[in-house]
Structure 1
Amino acid sequence: MNGNEWSTYLYELQYCIMQQDEKIKLLEKRVDTLEKKATENKAPNIEKIEYKFDQLKIEHLAGTLHIGLSPSDLENIEELASQQTTPPNYPVPLKQQLTSELQQYLRETGPSQISNLAATYHKPIDESFQAMLLQDINNQLPSRISFYEQEALKQNHSRNHDQLHTFITDSIKNEINQSLQNYMQSSEKEGEDS
């Protein structure tokens, strides 16, 4: 190698070193920036949380369970109990009143009515089947009350509370009687067809 070649070689080597030095400085700046962001945005490390629902299961409860009260409220539980007053005597809503009255009507007249119809149509009915019939009718009372309430509004039978009450009660009692009679008649016809 002559002198000219050495100088060219050294010049190229110096140029490569300067480029690498610039890259190193640029990378150091990026690392510093990333470290700053990491320390600024350092979020707490949350490990995996496992819920074990069998821990929430209550096998046996001895004592009183107060729902909606914090432990500090429990200290004042005696005051809360003494501050409660009896509720005001509001009139029972019509639907509840009708349901109660019609359930009583079913309890009082239902068994004898079914027995009489069974005897008239020669249809033997045991007590469990009779109870099932009465329970079925009882389950339908709320929907039938709503139906006749709407009918009363359509037919203007609801001039006042008493008229509405009478219309709904009479309509449902008639429907119960008619339904039981139709059932016994259809059961008798099925027996004749067989």
Structure 2
Amino acid sequence: MNADYHTYFCQLQSYLEFQDKRIKDLEAAVHTLSTELRQLKEKPAVNVERIEYRFDQLKVERLDGTLNIGLNPQELQNIDEFAVNSEPVHIPYVFPQRDQVIEHICRTLQTYMNTELAENLARAGADSPSIDPSYLNFIKEDISSQLPQKIIYYLDSVPVNERTPEELSVQIENITEKLKVDLSQAFFTFLNSAPKQQ
């Protein structure tokens, strides 16, 4: 029985020591917080009564830097897209290798136009009247010149919350597939309307 009391008192003593240490830690934290609060109260308050923007009096000497009025750049990360007159305005999807990605997608689509799409057009063109190859090349060049703008449009259409480095390769693949569909539709629309134009 004495052993039980001895064990109980040892546990009680260790528990009291733990509580005593915890109380001392909390007292130190309260002391630190009260010191910081006192320092904050001693600082003079900043009072901004009214800010007026007079854009007609704005003088621009150099066009560099950033002028933020009403929006903070950090807040843009939480905004998916703006709407101006009910039309969405996409926030540019900017990342370090953006130009290389655009060039890569352009090259992939050029290869697609010259191989798979050319074969499909040849098969589809076998049933329709022959089309002047120079005119077909003109259409290819015209579409090729529009590819970078279309790629940029699709890149900037990626929702902001999906713009992560891990998702980039999936987005590149999705954009490439969307553009392959667009290219096929454009060429086959041209083939369908070509006899009317001749």
TM-score (norm 2): 0.43
Please tell me whether Structure 1 or Structure 2 has the larger radius of gyration of its CA atoms.
Answer: 1
Bigger relative CO (Cα 8 Å, ≥ 6 apart): 2
In the superposition, the TM-score normalised over structure 1's length comes to 0.44
